[in-house]
Every structure is written in structure tokens, then in C-alpha cells.
Amino acid sequence: MKLKKNLAVLLVLLLSVSALRADEGMWLLQLLKEQNAIELMKKQGLQLDADDLYNPNGVSLKDAVGIFGGGCTGEIISPEGLILTNHHCGYSAIQQHSSVEHDYLTDGFWAMNRSDELPTPGLRFQFVDRIEEITDIVNARVKAGEVDEYTAQTRSYLAGLAQELYKKSDLYGKKGIRPVAETFYAGNRFYLIYYKVYTDVRMVAAPPSSVGKFGGETDNWMWPRHTGDFSMFRIYADADGQPAEYSPANVPLQTPKFFTISIKGLQEGDYAMIMGFPGSTYRYLTTGEVENRMNAQNEPLIRVRTAALDVLKEEMAASDKIRIQYASKYAGISNYWKNSIGMNKALIDNNVLGVKTEQERNFEAFAKGKPAYEGVVGNINSLTREMKPYMSQYTYLTEAFSNVIEFGSPYLVMAQLKKGLQEKNDSLVDASVKQLRSAYDIIHNKDYDHEVSRKIAKAVFPVYAANTPAEDRPAFFETIDKEFKGDINAYIDALYDKSIFSTRANLDKFLKKPTVKAIDNDLATAYSTAKNEKMNEVYSQYVSYNKQLVLLHKAYIRGLGEMKLPAPSYPDANFTMRLTYGNVKSYNPRDAVHYNFYTTVAGILEKEDPTNSEFVVPAKLKQLIRDKDFGRYAMPDGQMPVCFLTTNDITGGNSGSPVLNAKGELIGCAFDGNWESLSGDISFNNKLQRCINLDIRYMLFILDKLGNCGHLIQEMNIVE
């Protein structure tokens, strides 16, 4: 009873008063008052109150921010549902609308009126409608034995709990509501978040990739930066302002809150805050876990994706059709390929293992005589060493055969068809045949090229084989050895030429008279079955360790929080809404090197290289820069800013997040981190960590002068 009482007191103290550390921290908006954050933010320069940022009973800045698509942030910048996000966040939508005839990736897209705005099937925008704490509910069920501590943190259990509580709420039955239950502080706290989901989102504006992706892969994660990384979309709703599927009758959403835009300019040291949805951080890993991240996750990812990217570069350079088809896929593969390279380097350069070792020593001293914490770190590191081979195997499997190779067979449907044929169950056979026809169209979609996929497979299979012992490989490697005499290329050619799903002709021929023998002999079905069986096998071994780690982490993070008292702790990012605050600030990455906090268009012309697609400058933009035709968006000295740096703590998922000044006015759009601190997801470095942001003045300049979209600017509330 006493232990339980002490735990309850601890959880309050863990999130209670004291000085927040500026810059580091992805803070929960619903806890700003509880953690006394506002007063400290005001000392940094904030001119707003807590309810201006997050008000559970009214409208606040929170209501102008949402989830864009499946993994980015967007903000509302007009009273008519106009969304600003990054170009790279809107990239898949831009690619979706592009073709050789209408190459919006190359040429850009500017809707000159509402009728030009393009419906984008599959694209969603989600606002946070309500946040409720459910820690007591979960703990009571654990105490009653209805669920164990591990299961209570699993996605499946939390999804069921969210639906159960939603059905009892006053939101049940309302349009577009999506309930999500999430765990925070490694299972020490739980929240139920209700999202309002809009599914009619239309593309409004996107600069050409020579602006929106200027610098390409070379400049990705780097500073100085000159990338106009923005795109614009609009939310449409029914006549009542409620979420609705696309209809010509839908109207722009009249939003209760949108950001005022400031073009007053920035100075070093200015207050800056960011609201958004950071995806994942791992700030509470131990030394053993950091080593696993480097060697069992990042290194396999780098090796496999390097092979795939080399093929894609060559194929995309040779064909506009392939370039457009694979533009979004290439961007997705390359982004965390370079991130993983930079992370491994930064983890070493910034001595993160040394930092973690010191933290563990301090924790072990703190834990002496405390049964709940004593030995926790040692147990975590011991388990981590044991699970390393399974983590490495699983990374190689998923990277090689799921993340970069697209071709395969819907093996479960094939198994279902086989069963129907064996049992002479005509209804099961008919249903399976229908599913197979649909599956073929999904695999061979408009953005898939069979020959490109074949070439990637030929590049990736050998990488996987070279890094995985023969006894740990999927069963199809036995086929390669026995039936193809170890010739991987011959096996891949047979897989891509002769399998049922290789071509429409092969599928049609099979479906005219499907047989059990044909299914048993199909290489693609055997390949897909074997790879998934191996993934499941390795994953089950990994999970057996992870179940123990989850409970150890719950104790470790609770203990770290207690050790830090009276200073509060923030939870790792999990793609829920957070606020981070800091300042506009330059930095010194190396001895005798200083980076200013902003860049200008002069750097665009300095980097220009017409022979390199990453550094092409559109002729019109070049002329605007040479003529200094910047309008009201220029700095007082006549220069045109492009990007700027802040000390805000962000990660993937924050892309597109609004950067706000002390008054809560929009001054930029966050889009990247800097190379020197790519270890930041694991260990925040106060000296080096910087957030790279698009200056809102450059966005407006491009929209106005390059896109001729003055009508969009008129929608906005701009202060000078």
C-alpha cells in the first residue's frame, strides 16, 4: 500500500514544478501548466498565456496544427482551410498527380482558382479534438488482473481500449472522429487522443523541385541550406463544416483558428517555438541499446539501401517515366539512409556512448538500496546483447525483401485458393480469384516498373546473402542453391519472368484453370511465403526479449525521472502533439568554423550547377534574384532570406511544423535537422543541435513572384 502511494506521489512530482531546460524537450501541451512550463517560456520571451497555446475548453494555437498525411505536420494559414507543409511532405501527392505530360515535380503546380485545386485520394488532415488521461483506467485493470503490464502497452490492446472508451463518450457517432490511446513515459502514463479526420484534401500549390528540393540528396540534413521546402493544400468539408469524402459540392473548411504570418524579420536570440507531431525519439536508451541501434539497425539499413539507391539513380536518370514513377519512393528510401549514416557518425563524434555510460553510473548509484531500480540497467544491457543477432537479422530481412523490393505474391490468398481447390469449394475459389485479380493491380500499380524491381532485386539479394549466415536465410535460398546452382541472378530472372504474378498474361493463363500443382510450383508464392515465415520466426524471437525490456524500461524511465527531481521529464516522441521552445541561433560545428543563423538567395546562385539536377535554378527565379525583385519580403538590408536556424528540439514527423515567434505568429516552417547532431534522436546536444527552418518570407516570395499566386496571399493575415 505504501509503495503504491509513493508511486502515485512520484508520478505527480515527475511532471511537476521546476525549471525546464530550454531547447531540449518535446513537451506535452496538456501538461504545460502542471510542469510550470509557461512561466519559464515567458522568461525566454513568450508573450502568450498557457490557454493561448492549449485550451481544452476553447480555441487555441493548437487548433491550427494537425497531422498532414501519414507522417508530417501541417498548419492552417487562412480562414478557409489553407494548409502549409513541407514540399517533401507533399511530395507523394505531387508525384501522384504528375505524369510525363503534366510533370508537376519538375514544373511546379499553382492553382489559379478553387476549381484548379486537385483532389488527392488517400490524403488526410487530422486535428487534435480532445485529449483525456486514462492512466487510472489502465492501472486499475492491471491491478484487477484484467491485463498484464506488458500487454497494457501493446498497440492491439490500446486500440481496443480506445474504441471501448470512445463508444461511451459524447463524441461517439460524430463524423470523422478517430480515437487513439497512447502510452507515455514507457507505460507510466496513458492518454486517449481524439482526432478529427478530414479526407477531402486538395493540392493548391507546389514549387518546382528545383526550388522545393534544391540541393537534393547532397544538402539533405546539411547546413547552410537554400531549399524552398514548402507545398500548400486545402481542406474541404461538407456544407456543415464536417468531414466528408470528396464531392464537387464540398466547400473550403472554415477553420476556427489559423496562424497570423509575420514578415517583421528575425534576430539572433529571438524566441521561437514549434508545435508538431515528432515521430520517434529514443532518449532513454542504454549503452547496449545504442550499440544495437548503430550496428544491428543502422548498418544493415545503410548497406541494403545503398545497393537499391545505386540502381534507382541510374534508372531514373535514364527515363523521365521512371523518374516520375519512383520519385517519391526514392525520396523515402534515401532520407533515412542518409540519416542513418549521419546518426552513426554523430553518435561517435558526440561521444554519446560516453554520455550514456555516465548516466548509467549515476543511475546505479541512485538505485542502490531501491529494489524497484537496482540492477535494471545491467539487465537491460544483458538482454540487449542477447537480442542483437535477431535484431540484425530482422533489419536485413525487412530492408531487403519488404522496403526496397516491391515484387512478390499475395501468398495468403494463394493458400486460400489452394484450400478451395483441394476441398472443391467453389465459393472460396471464386472469392480467391477475385482477390488475386485485385492484388495484381495493387502490385503492378502506376508507380511500379517490373524491370526496375528486377534490377533492385539483383543488387540487394547478394547484399543480404553476404551478411546473413546460410542457416539463417529464408527457404528460397535453398531453391537458389539446389535448382539454380547458387546463381542468384538466374533465380531472380525466373522469379520475375515465370511466376504467376510476373505478367498479366501469366496471371490470366493461370486463372483460366488454376491448379494446386501450379501454386506449389510458383516461385513468387514460395518466395513470399518463405520470407514472411522467416520474418515471423525472427520477430517472435525478438519479441520474447522485448517483453522483458518493456517492463525494465518502465522502471528505468520512472527511476530516471525520480533521479532528476525536482526538474520534470518529458516522454519520448511517439507522433503525438508536442511543443518545443528555444531561440534563433547560429553555431560552430568545428574548430574555426562559424555558421550564421540564416541564408539568403545569394547562396542559391553560388550553388547553381546546370549540369547537376540537384542544383538547377529556374530561369525566372534567377532573374528575380539578379533584379532583386523581392518586394516586401526582403530584409531591411535588401537581401532575400531563405532558411534560418533555431535550437528547437525536433525529429521526423515535425516536418512541416509551424515555427512561431513570441506572439504566436508564423515565422517559418520546420523541415530538417543538421548533420552534426543526427545523434539527437538518442542524445540531445545543446551546443550543436539545430532545427533548419524555411523562412516564411521566402515562401511568400516564391508564391507571389514565381507562382503568381497573389490570390492565395490575400487569404492570409500578414503583419509587417
State the average pLDDT over residues 585-593: 95
Judged against a pLDDT cut of 60, whether residue 283 lies above it is answered with yes
Residues 547 and 586 placed together within one structural domain of the fold? no
Q: 219 in a domain, yes or no?
A: no
The alpha-helical segments, DSSP class H, found in 426-522 are 426-443, 450-466, 476-483, 488-498, 504-512, 516-521
pLDDT of residue 619: 97
For residue 633, the tally of other CB atoms under 10 A from its CB is 21
Where b means 16+ CB within 10 Å and e means fewer, 539-572 reads bebbeebbebbbbbbbbbbbbbbbbeeeebbbbb
Q: Are residues 543 and 684 in the same domain?
A: no
Catalytic, 88? Answer yes
- Residue 245 CB neighbour total at 10 angstroms: 9
- Shared-domain flag, residues 620 and 673: yes
Contact 112, 711 (CB under 8 A): yes
Closest CA to 282 of 706, 652, 719: 652
Angle at 641 between CA 636 and CA 646, to 5 degrees: 110
pLDDT at position 21 over 80: no
Do residues 330 and 476 share a domain? yes
The verdict on pTM exceeding 0.85 is: yes
Residue (of 158, 169, 183, 167) closest to 130 by Cα position: 169
So what's the pLDDT on residue 314?
97
pLDDT at 37 (0 to 100) = 81
CATH number reported for the structural domain that contains residue 649 in this entry? 2.40.10
The reported pLDDT for the residue numbered 567 is 86
48-102 tens-digit pLDDT: 999 999 999 999 999 999 999 999 999 999 999 999 999 999 999 999 999 999 9
**Strand runs labelled E in 577-632:** 578-583, 587-590, 593-595, 598-600
655 as an active site residue: the answer is yes
Coil, strand or helix: which one is 109?
Answer: strand
- 597 domain-assigned: yes
Which of these three, 551, 566, 592, is where a domain ends? 551
pLDDT of 22 > 50? The answer is no
The pLDDT tens digits for 396-412 are 999 999 999 999 999 99
Closest alpha carbon to 272 in 597, 603, 596, 642: 597
- The per-residue pLDDT for 9 is 38
Assess if residue 245 is contained within a domain.
Answer: no
Q: How many helices (H) and strands (E) does the chain have?
A: 26, 23
Q: Is residue 110 part of a domain?
A: no
536 and 677 together in one domain: no
Q: What is the DSSP letter of 584?
A: B
pLDDT digits (tens, 9 = 90+) for 342-387: 999 999 999 999 999 999 999 999 999 999 999 999 999 999 999 9
CA–centroid distance for 636 within its chain: 37
Residue from 78, 655, 657, 683 carrying the catalytic annotation = 655
Residue 685: which domain range? 580-719
**Statement to judge: residues 542 and 594 lie in one domain:** no
For the record, the C-alpha cell of 332 comes out as: 523515402
| One-letter amino acid for residue 245 of the chain | E
DSSP H/E element including 695 = strand 691-695
Same domain, yes or no, for 342 and 438? yes
3-state secondary structure 516-581: HHHHHHCHHHHHHHHHHHHHHHHHHHHHHHHHHHHHHHHHHHHHHHHHHCCCCCCCCCCCCCEEEE
Q: Which of 23, 63, 200, 229 is catalytic?
A: 229
pLDDT in tens, 222-271: 999 999 999 999 999 999 999 999 999 999 999 999 999 999 999 999 99
Q: What share of the chain is helix, strand, coil (3-state, %, to 5)?
A: 50, 15, 35
Lowest mean pLDDT of 25-39, 435-449, 666-680, name the range: 25-39
Confidence of residue 4 (pLDDT cuts 50, 70, 90): very low
Assess whether 649 and 507 both reside in one domain: no
pLDDT band at 17 (very low <50, low <70, confident <90, very high): very low
φ, ψ for residue 539, nearest 5 deg: -65, -40
Is 177 among the domain residues? no
Give the separation between CA 559 and CA 359, rounded to whole angstroms. Answer: 12
- Which of 150, 144, 241, 212 minimizes the C-alpha distance to 621? 212
Position 19 scores a pLDDT of 36
What is the residue-averaged pLDDT of the chain? Answer: 94
Strand 641-646 with 658-660, pairing: unpaired
Q: Reply yes or no: is the peptide bond before residue 566 cis, omega within 30 of 0.
A: yes
C-alpha cell at 507: 496471371
Domain boundary among 513, 531, 551: 551
pLDDT band with cut points at 50, 70 and 90 for residue 660:
very high
User: Are 546 and 635 in the same domain?
Assistant: no
For residue 343, being part of any structural domain is answered with yes
For residues 274 and 648, the answer to whether their CB atoms sit within 8 Å is: yes
Same domain as 590, residue 546: no
- Tracing cell 525487412 back to the chain, one arrives at 398
Whether residues 544 and 642 share a domain: the answer is no
Which amino acid is it at 599? T
DSSP string, 278-305: -----TT--HHHHHHIIIIIIHHHHHHH
Q: How many CA atoms lie within 13 A of 372 on its CB side?
A: 14
Query: What does the pLDDT read at residue 703?
Result: 98
Cell of 239: 456544407
Which of the pair, 199 or 17, is modelled with greater confidence?
Answer: 199
Q: Look up cell 524537450; give the residue.
A: 25
**Total domains present in the chain:** 2
Which of 513, 536, 551 marks a domain boundary?
551
* 442 part of a folded domain: yes
- How far apart are alpha carbons 537 and 539 in whole angstroms? 6
DSSP string, 398-432: HIIIIIS------HHHHHHHHHHHHHT-HHHHHHH
If asked whether residues 481 and 373 sit together in one domain, one would say yes
Q: Is position 685 within any domain?
A: yes
